[in-house]
Structure 1
Amino acid sequence: MSTPTPGSTPTQQLVDAGVSIWLDDLSRARIASGNLADLISSRNVSGVTTNPSIFQAAIGNQNDDSYDAPLAALAEGGADVDAAIFELTTTDVRDAADIFRGVFDATGGVDGRVSIEVSPDLAHDTDATVAEAEKLWAKVDRPNALIKIPATKAGLPAITAVIGAGISVNVTLIFSLERYAEVIDAYLAGLEQAKAAGHDLSGIHSVASFFVSRVDTEVDKRLSAFESEDAEALKSRAGLANARLAYELFEQQFATARAQELISAGANVQRPLWASTGVKDPALPDTLYVTELVAPGTVNTMPEKTLEATFDHGVITGDTVTGAYEDAHLVFSQLAELGVDINDVTQTLEDEGVAKFIASWQDLKKTVAEALATAPETSR
């Protein structure tokens, strides 16, 4: 276990313990104001993740006029809603990638990453997901981009195909250990395809985004129905247990002969990324999903509120994952004994996750459609 450096900030201590801090937010105002660049130096932020909800909030923000001029230009050029969203979001991601290029170069491509997601409407369409991933990669045109593909059944072969084409991928919406094992297999299969096609494996990177807080929300809701002390004692423990067992699986799968052969050929491991790390239960410590998920070679993508809480009062004690496997297995056993079906929990969360992103995507389309309709008037 690493010992925190005296006098260093909690975010620096996280980095020293092997955790990359990525911001789960992006906006044109954040880019233009210099805030994003400042977070690199002041908060140890080394990457950015985005999703439809984040872009909807940014473009729909009434206090941010930075999208007015580009929307007016798009409207004047006759762009439809989908084309406008594609142009606006890829521009933001490209500009953010340029800000993080120094981090990317300094870390050999491990960090300095900016993620952009394929349309959630395509979550169950493999071929369309592959086509959009390739289109996004070409449009952003930066080596430090990551294309987000959801870990649905249809997403798995898309992950393999996109990695096989030499494109770096952020696999998102992972909730179950079973699906995570399939994600790792899809990544390794993609590397094998890339190797056969002659791609430089060292240039292909990937993270596997394992969602944390939503697991607690769903499990705790089910535990409340039992009205027992045993059930109460298990509340707010499933999310951490699930993530810790994911890291155990990560260690096991990347130690296999198959993975090691690819690594020997220059491939990178697919790093676990902790997503949904904002604490939803106000009774819990606001840094819970940061301080209790410290492990080497991981990424923690945080909303700004969680990032600031961690910087302000996070207590980093070193690795809080690898020594907790036994307890994590025990939590799962106790949940099963009570009758909580963790497989049903994670499938419910995956279905809800896709539905929520589709809803956010529709909100984004509505916001942009309204902005396009009024942009010519407001620009005059």
Structure 2
Amino acid sequence: MQSNDRLERISASGVSIWLDDLSRDRLDTGELAELVSTSHVVGVTTNPTIFAAALQDGDAYADQVGDLAARGIGAEEAAIALTSDDVRSATAVLAPLYTASGFQDGRVSIEVDPRLARDTEETIAQARRLWALVDRPNVYVKIPATEQGLPAITAAISEGISVNVTLIFSLDRYRAVAQAYLDGLEKAQLAGLDLSRIASVASVFLSRIDAKIDPVLDEIGGDEAATLRGGAAIAGARLAYEAFEEIFSSPRWADLSSAGARVQRPLWASTGVKDPSYPDTRYVDELIAPHVVNTMPEKTLQAVADHARLPDGDGPVDTVHGTAVAAREHLDAVVRLGVPYERLLTELEEEGVEKFVASQNELLGTVQSELDKAASRTNGATA
């Protein structure tokens, strides 16, 4: 099977393929447009770590950084300016897909400062600001699925701000995120907004779950623990998909759907494997189903194009429907062996926020360093 055939078949099966990466160099060289053209990429996700790496790689940002430094702009405002400009440019590349998909895909995400993850009101305020700053209908504002993030999601949706909900680990939190979306849509409807232009995805993180649970299974030891390794993330995602179909076929949803509302699609995130003993395409191969998004680092995208493990034939693939019972049995077995499954998922959320905050601090440090270099060059030139 040719590489394009694998990606095309996955896409034709109802999976929206998004790239988990963005840089100005990728935009300027046309690499993003090329991936859209040849690799069925129909969306982009970003985070502070991605932007920090992009800033350190080459001179694509030099002119803008120099201008910001000359105007005395601080690191926080400069970071927002730099990232929002990249996201705005990416939305332009993807705008034709946004229109062609009926406003479903062609989306680019920009993240609320993760240091606000436990502050509802500040998250709402920055979501409004980023939405207005990028000022493109095909942008998503990323809000974490913390307890404090849930009312922020509802508030943003109620104002017509499309949201990528990030850092979902547990089934209970996935359900809470879906309810927050429905709450927001109902408020938007009462306010007279066009529900068809409001969209959301619910990002369920995968590889981090297995990286957290597998060492506990290894410590427990035994044949059963060994057979359960590497299965918790996919099992949880399959149960989230079951919940997705349940929630978005309810009478409550039918009322919103009749008013033009869109389902909040599950998005599979953290899809690059962390254990090299696992197939590098497993978080794609095992979670193909209609109405989902899979956001992949470029390395994973290339691996899927090269050797995704798909069933024989040319027709649509579905590796999710019919798996819920086995998924539930798998997680029951994990708990029965003594793995504190729910506690570990809670820890993953806490660690996820901490990692996002560290990434934001890394980005701000990188921006400050680049501003200092630009100011030094300017001062040296005028000395």
TM-score over 0.5 (shorter chain): yes
Quote the Cα distance in structure 2 between the aligned partners of 1:139 and 1:88: 12
- Residue in 2 that maps onto 1:30: 26
Quote the Cα distance in structure 1 between the aligned partners of 2:2 and 2:29: 32
Percent of residue pairs identical = 52
For the Cα contact (< 8 Å) 2:285–2:308, is it kept in 1? yes
> What does 1:135-150 align with in structure 2 at a 5 Å threshold?
135-150=129-144
Structure 1: where are the runs of 5+ without partners? Answer: none
State the Cα deviation string for residues 64-87 of structure 1 (Å, max 9, x = none). 110111101000011011110010
From 223, 230, 253, the equivalent of 1:229 is 223
State the Cα deviation string for residues 215-239 of structure 1 (Å, max 9, x = none). 1110101111112111111000101
Residue 6 (structure 1) shift: 9.2
- Residue in 1 that maps onto 2:40: 44
State the Cα deviation string for residues 9-29 of structure 1 (Å, max 9, x = none). 111011110000000000000
State the Cα deviation string for residues 267-314 of structure 1 (Å, max 9, x = none). 000000000000111111110000111000000000000000001111
- Residue in 2 that maps onto 1:182: 176
- Residue in 2 that maps onto 1:366: 365
From 300, 303, 310, the equivalent of 1:309 is 303
- Alpha-carbon RMSD across the aligned residues, in angstroms, is 1.2
From 257, 261, 267, the equivalent of 2:251 is 257
Pair 1:346-2:340 in alignment: no
> What does 1:273-352 align with in structure 2 at a 5 Å threshold?
273-317=267-311, 318-352=317-351
Quote the Cα distance in structure 1 between the aligned partners of 2:56 and 2:191: 43
Quote the Cα distance in structure 2 between the aligned partners of 1:175 and 1:93: 26
Structure 2: where are the runs of 5+ without partners? Answer: 312-316
Quote the Cα distance in structure 1 between the aligned partners of 2:171 and 2:11: 26
Residue 32 (structure 1) shift: 0.3
Pair 1:84-2:83 in alignment: no
Residue 264 (structure 1) shift: 1.0
Quote the Cα distance in structure 1 between the aligned partners of 2:74 and 2:347: 34
Q: Aligned partner of 1:29: which letter? A: D
Quote the Cα distance in structure 2 between the aligned partners of 1:269 and 1:341: 32
The alignment covers a number of residue pairs equal to: 374
Quote the Cα distance in structure 1 between the aligned partners of 2:327 and 2:3: 32
From 235, 253, 261, the equivalent of 1:241 is 235
Quote the Cα distance in structure 2 between the aligned partners of 1:47 and 1:327: 31
Q: Which moved more, 1:32-41 or 1:312-321?
A: 312-321
> SS state of the match for residue 137, structure 2?
coil
Quote the Cα distance in structure 2 between the aligned partners of 1:334 and 1:108: 42
Q: Which runs of 4+ in 1 moved over 2 A?
A: 5-8, 376-380
Residues 375, 8 of structure 1: CA spacing in aligned structure 2 closer, same or farther, 3 A cutoff? closer
> SS state of the match for residue 9, structure 1?
helix
Residue 377 (structure 1) shift: 3.0
> SS state of the match for residue 136, structure 2?
coil
From 192, 196, 204, the equivalent of 2:186 is 192
Q: Aligned partner of 1:104: which letter? A: Y
Pair 1:133-2:121 in alignment: no
